[in-house]
Amino acid sequence: MSEKELGQKWDRCLADCAVKFGTGLGLGIVFSVVFFKRRTWPIVFGTGLGLGMAYSNCQNDLRSRYVLHSKYFSFEQK
Amino acid sequence: MLRVCWKGAHAAARQCVCGKVKAHPLQHCRRYTTAGDSGSSAGKIVAASLLTVGGGLSGTILYAKWDPKFRANIEKSVPYSDQLFEMALGPPPPPLVPLQKKPGKIEPLQISSLSEASKESKQPKAKAKKSDPAPVEAPPAVEEAPAPTPQTLEEASAEAAHIISAIGEVPSVPAPGTSDESPPGHTAAGEERKDHHEPALKERPAEEVSARLAQQDKAEQDALAALTAGLEESLGSSAKTTLQAIGAQEAVLTAIATHANKLREAMDSQTPPDEKSTQWKALNEALSDRTRAMEEAEEALLKAKGELEILRGVINSAKQSKIDSARPQILAAEENLHSMIVDLDKVVTKVQTAQTEAKIVSQYSELVNEAKAQFQQELANITPEIQANWKGLSGKLSADDLNSLIAHAHRRIDQLNRELAEQRVREQIHIEAALEQQKLEDQKALERAVTSALEHRREDMRLEQEKKVQEVREVMEAEMRTQLRRQAAAHTDHLRDVLKVQEQELREEAQEILNSKMMEQETHYRRLTQEQLDTFTLDMNAAYARLKGIEEAIDSHVIAEEEARKAHQLWLSVEALNYTLKSAGADSPTEPLEGAVGVIKENCAENEFAQALASALPEESLSRGIYGEASLRARFYDIRRLARRVALIDETRNSLYQYFLSYLQSILLFEREQVVPPAKLASEDLDTFRLLAYATYSIERGDLELAAKFVNQLRGESQRVAQDWLKEARLTLETKQVISLLSAYANAVGLGTTQAP
């Protein structure tokens, strides 16, 4: 159903957000631990990165219907 | 304290009262007085008004009593016043009716002879009473009491004309016979008509009249017969007695004559003495005869006179009885009477003359006797010894006696001579005296004779006149009869002509009528037959048509039954389809409608409409089924919530931030859940929230279609969200529409085919 679509989208969005957040957080923690001497900025960065990606994905997902898809056609004049 | 209070209260009250008493009594008084005054004045007013009204009423009644016109006026104008008047005055006087002229004594018609007409005092004025059919009756005519003068002949003829014309008017009644006619012997002046009874004013029927006439005729005849018989009888008897009387008188005459003769003879002392005694005897006999004859004659005369009186009486009565036909007889009787009287008179005069003569003779004889007696006495004186009867003494007489006798005779002769001389001297005087006497006597006799002759002449003339009158009457009567006959003939001719003409006319009329009636009848008959034919044809046609109709009806009935069966089946299948719709669960769709639709399609294989409809069902409904309205309704609320949330999102705005804003908007926006949708959508109504409100309202009211319409107007993300619901709704609506159409169609078909019980 069309009305479930949005819900589904929001579910995906949230799921993605959670994943991305976690992943970002993890990576950030890893990076911060590994590379950046336990600084917080890579955690935040990584979390932010992850949230950002999730946001963008969510937005894209929600926008997906309105995005115009185009195709390239090569026109050969015969 | 109570008492004080009481007292105080009393005082107060009293004061009050007193305070008011002054006013009250005054008021009261005033009131009383005013009441009194008003009472008295009111009483006065009442009395005055009563008086006026009563006076007016009584005045009206009195005046009405006096003037009936006024009363009539009032009765007309004021209702119920007539009752009042009746109560007071009695019934109203009857309106004056113009007095009808008393119809004069209706004198009946009479066909009387002219003499009758002339004799009758006043003939019936038949013309005057044309309106009432004058009763033509024969019975005694009405005659006026005073004896008027007889009418002139013209009047009489006019009367006769009247009578004839009146008779012409009343042909049915037979003309009465000339029954009632007064005897002609009496003039009008001489007789007084008696007032007979008033004739009946109404016409008697013809039979009665004829019966009466017959009766009268019979009576007349009887009377006539009786009269004639009586007359004849009396005539006969009187004639007999008269003859007897005449005979007696004649006998008397002869007796007187003989007696006179005898006497004369006896006086003539020339017969021998011995016959003298016989003579004297004969004389005596003759005398006795004469006396006897005279007595007889007297008797006979008396009887005759009596008989004649009787006859006269009878004649008078006959005349009184007024029977015309007896008139000649009466006339004859009268003539006879007259002649008898004349004869009697003659004879009586003869007898009287004879008597006078005889008297003379007897006087002479007496004188002679006297002389003789004287002579005898002288003789006796002279010759005393001679006795009476000296006749037989002629031989016994002595000379002295003779001488004395002769001397006496001589003396006597001398005396007689002297007397004679004296007589001669006195002759003239005597003769004159005698002549005078004779003249006187003659005159007397003449007078008597003249009177008697006059009487006789008069009688004769009267009789002659009567005879002449009778003759004239008869002539006139005959003439009148002829005229009448002529008139009657003319009348009959005229009548015949008229009748002929009338007969012709009537015949023609009758023929015409007959013809017309025949025509009518014929046309009627023709019309009837035509009608019959027409009706028969009509009936036949009608019957045939009905038969045809019945056949068609039966066929169509069969068809209809077929149709009905099909419709029934269709209806049943549609009902089945409808039932399948109900199988929709809360969230699950119905069963696929394929089966039911297949059944429908089977059932209405010939019905294009149904087929079209059945195929118009959307595929989804067939395969998958449709959602019920309730589920759609429930779903709608989800849609609504969602749509509200993404109300801001459309192609241009679709970032996540917009989403957030949209969510915020939906949370913060307060509005009514349901808003009555307007009839027309304006541009501001195209707002999501508004639309959703309308849709909510509609769907709450069960109007899925309207809700779908409103949801259709959503744009952007809301639209995308509601898409599926819309689709489902569309599906449901479509299917429902088709099914409702099918159902309506099935119902209609079923209604069309079902027959009312």
User: Read out DSSP for B128-165?
Assistant: TT-SS------S-----SS-PPPPPHHHHHHHHHHHHH
Tell whether B721 lies on the interface with A, counting CB pairs under 8 A: yes
Identify the residue among A66, A68, A69 best suited for mutation to test binding to B, counting B beta carbons within 10 A and taking the highest: A66
CB contact under 8 A, B651 and A1: no
- CB-CB: which of B642, B651, B659 is closest to A3? B642
**Which residues on chain A are in Cβ contact (under 8 Å) with B663?**
none
Residue B708 has pLDDT above 60, yes or no: yes
Please compute Rg for chain A using Cα positions.
19
Chain A CB contacts of B659 below 8 Å:
62
Cβ-defined contact of A59 to B721 (cutoff 8 Å) = no
Say if residue B669's pLDDT is above 80: yes
Say if B724 is an interface residue toward chain A (CB within 8 Å). Answer: yes
Whether A2 and B720 lie within 8 Å, measured CB to CB: yes
User: Is B723–A65 a contact, with Cβ atoms under 8 angstroms apart?
Assistant: no
Task: Return contacts of B240-243, CB within 8 angstroms, 24+ apart.
Answer: B240/B307, B241/B300, B241/B303, B241/B304, B241/B306, B241/B307, B241/B308, B242/B304, B242/B307, B242/B308, B242/B340, B242/B343, B242/B344
A-B CB pairs within 8 A amount to 36
Helix/strand/coil percent split, chain B, to 5: 75, 0, 25
Nearest-neighbour CA in chain A from B675: distance (Å) = 23
* A2: contact with B, CB 8 A cutoff: yes
Name the residue among B731, B732, B733, B727 with its Cα closest to residue B711. B727
Distance set, CA B543 to CA B530, B554, B556, B558 (Å): 19, 16, 19, 22
- For residue B180, what pLDDT is reported? 41
Top-confidence residue, B281 or B108 = B281
Of residues B131 and B224, more confidently modeled: B224
CA distance B98 to B549: 83
Rounded to an integer, the average pLDDT of B236-247 is: 78
Highest mean pLDDT among B125-139, B403-417, B529-543: B529-543
The C-alpha of A51 sits at a distance from chain B's nearest C-alpha, in angstroms, of 13
Q: What percent of chain A has pLDDT over 90?
A: 5
Q: What residues of A are in contact with residue B721 (Cβ under 8 Å)?
A: 2-3, 5-6
Coil, strand or helix: which one is A71? coil
User: Confidence band (pLDDT; 50, 70, 90) for B128?
Assistant: very low
Q: How far apart are CA B705 and CA B80, in angstroms?
A: 85
Look at B724 and A1 and tell me if their CB atoms are within 8 Å: yes
Whether B725 sits inside 8 A of A1 (CB atoms) is yes
Nearest to A58 among B639, B656, B724 (CB): B656
Residue B144 near residue B150, CB atoms below 8 Å: no
Q: Which residue of A has its CA nearest to B723?
A: A2
Contact B720 A65 (CB under 8 A): yes
Token pair in block for residue B679: 């009839």
Q: In the predicted model, is pLDDT for residue B757 greater than 80?
A: no
Complex ipTM: 0.88
User: How far is the C-alpha of B68 from the C-alpha of B574, rounded, in Å?
Assistant: 100
Residue A55 forms contact with B (CB below 8 Å): yes
pLDDT for the residue B272: 65
Picking from B186, B189, B462, B474, the residue whose alpha carbon sits closest to that of residue B337 is B462
Q: How confident is the model at residue B160 (pLDDT cuts 50, 70, 90)?
A: very low
CA-CA distance, A1 to B725, in Å (whole number)? 8
The type of residue at B238 is: S
Least confident of B332-336, B718-722, B749-753: B749-753
From residue A23, alpha-carbon distances to A11, A19, A41, A44 in Å are: 18, 6, 15, 12
Tell me the mean pLDDT in the region B395-410.
Answer: 74
Q: Greater confidence, B555 or B593?
A: B555
Mutation target to probe the A interface, by most A beta carbons within 10 A, among B627, B652, B657, B659 is B659
Task: Using the structure block, give the residue that is written with the tokens 């399609």.
Answer: B601
CB contact under 8 A, A6 and B656: no
User: For position B687, what pLDDT does the model report?
Assistant: 87
- Predicted local distance difference test score (pLDDT) of residue B324: 65
Nearest to B724 among A3, A55, A58 (CB): A3
B221-225, B535-539, B603-607, B710-714: range with lowest mean pLDDT: B603-607
Structure token pair of residue B36: 């009194």
Question: What does the DSSP 8-state code read for residue B393?
Answer: G
Residue closest to B58 by CA, chosen among B93, B85, B76: B85
Chain A residues in contact with B635 by the CB 8 A cut-off are 3
The CA distance from B660 to the nearest CA of chain A, in Å, is 11
Q: Could you tell me if B651 and B715 are in contact, meaning their C-beta atoms sit under 8 angstroms apart?
A: no
B91 three-state secondary structure: coil
Percent of chain B residues topping a pLDDT of 70: 73
Answer whether B655 sits within 8 Å of A63, measured CB to CB. yes
B718, closest residue in chain A (CA to CA): A3
Measured between CB atoms, does A27 come within 8 Å of chain B? no
Residues 6+ apart with CB under 8 A from B579: none
Q: Are A13 and A62 in contact (CB under 8 A)?
A: yes
Task: State whether A2 and B724 contact (CB < 8 Å).
Answer: yes
Q: Does B638 touch chain A (CB under 8 A)?
A: yes
Could you read off the pLDDT of B180-218 as tens digits, one per residue?
A: 444 443 433 333 444 444 444 566 677 888 888 888 888
Contact between chains at A2 and B654 (C-beta distance less than 8 A): no
B635, B646, B654 member nearest A63 (Cβ): B654
Cβ–Cβ gap A2/B722 under 8 Å: yes
* Cα B701 from Cα B699, distance rounded (Å): 5
Separation of alpha carbons B563 and B561, rounded Å: 5
Domain ranges of chain A: 2-73
Q: Which of B635, B638, B651 sits opposite A66 (nearest CB)?
A: B651
Determine the Cα–Cα distance for residues B711 and B716; give it in Å rounded to an integer. Answer: 12
Chain B nearest CA to A36, separation (Å): 33
Whether residue B308 contacts residue B340, with contact meaning beta carbons closer than 8 Å, is answered with yes
Is A6 within 8 Å of B721 when comparing Cβ atoms? yes
Q: What is the pLDDT of residues A30-63, one digit of tens each?
A: 888 888 888 888 888 888 988 888 888 888 888 8
Rounded to the nearest 10 degrees, what angle do helices B2-66 and B68-77 cross at? 130
CB < 8 Å & 24+ apart, contacts of B331-334:
B331/B463, B331/B466, B331/B467, B331/B470, B333/B231, B333/B234, B333/B235, B334/B185, B334/B463, B334/B466
Q: Which chain B residues have a beta carbon less than 8 Å from that of A6?
A: 642, 646, 717, 721
Between CA B470 and CA B456 the distance in angstroms is 20
Tokens linked to B16: 């009050």
CB-side exposure of B504: number of CA atoms within 13 Å? 5
Tokens of B366: 């007496």
Smallest CA-to-CA distance from B671 within B647, B652, B653, B703 is with B647
Residues 6+ apart with CB under 8 A from B294: B252, B255, B256
State residue B12's pLDDT score.
Answer: 60
* Residue B648 in contact with partner chain A when CB distance is under 8 A: no
> In the prediction, which pLDDT does B6 show?
62
Q: Which of B635, B639, B659 sits opposite A62 (nearest CB)?
A: B659
A65–B725 C-beta distance less than 8 A: no
A10 touches B at CB < 8 Å: no
User: What is each CA distance from B212 to B134, B215, B371, in whole angstroms?
Assistant: 16, 5, 82
Which tens digit of pLDDT belongs to each residue from B565-591?
Answer: 777 787 788 888 888 877 766 667 767
Task: Name which of B487, B577, B526, B637 is nearest B157 in CA terms.
Answer: B487
Mean pLDDT, residues B113-139: 41
pLDDT band at B415 (very low <50, low <70, confident <90, very high): confident
Q: Give the residue, B563 or B394, on which the prediction is more confident.
A: B563
B606 near A CB under 8 A:
no
Distances (CA, A) of B739 to B91, B224, B620, B754: 97, 134, 14, 21
In B, which residues are within 8 Å of A16 by CB distance?
A: none
CB atoms within 10 A of CB A65: 13
Gyration radius (Cα) of chain B, Å: 79
Say whether A5 and B720 touch across the interface (CB within 8 A): yes
Q: pLDDT tens-digit profile of B506-560?
A: 999 999 999 999 999 999 999 999 989 998 998 899 899 889 988 988 887 787 7
Report the residue of A2, A8, A57, A69 to disrupt the B interface, i.e. the one with the largest count of B CBs within 10 Å.
A2
Q: Would an 8 Å CB–CB cutoff place B729 in contact with chain A?
A: no
Does A3 contact B635 at a Cβ distance shorter than 8 Å?
A: yes
Of B757, B754, B756, B755, nearest in space to B567 by CA: B754
- Compute the average pLDDT of residues B253-279: 71
Residues of A in contact with B651 (CB under 8 A): 66
* Average pLDDT over chain B, rounded to an integer: 74
Indicate yes or no: CB of B722 within 8 angstroms of CB of A63: no
Q: DSSP characters for B172-210?
A: SSPPPPTT----TTS-TTT------PPPPSSPPPHHHHH
Domain with CATH 1.20.58.70 in chain B: 222-380
Measured between beta carbons, which residues in chain B are less than 8 angstroms from residue A3?
635, 638-639, 642, 721-722, 724-725
For residue A50, the distance in angstroms to the closest alpha carbon of chain B comes to 16
Amino acid at B83: Q
State in Å, rounded, how far the first CA of chain B is from the last one: 101
Q: How many residues does chain B have?
A: 757
Give me the CATH code for the B222-380 domain, please: 1.20.58.70
pLDDT at B509: 93
Tell whether B634 is within 8 A of chain A (Cβ): no
**Which tens digits make up the pLDDT trace of B434-488?**
778 777 877 887 788 778 888 888 888 888 888 888 888 888 888 888 888 888 8
Q: pTM higher than 0.80 for the full model?
A: no
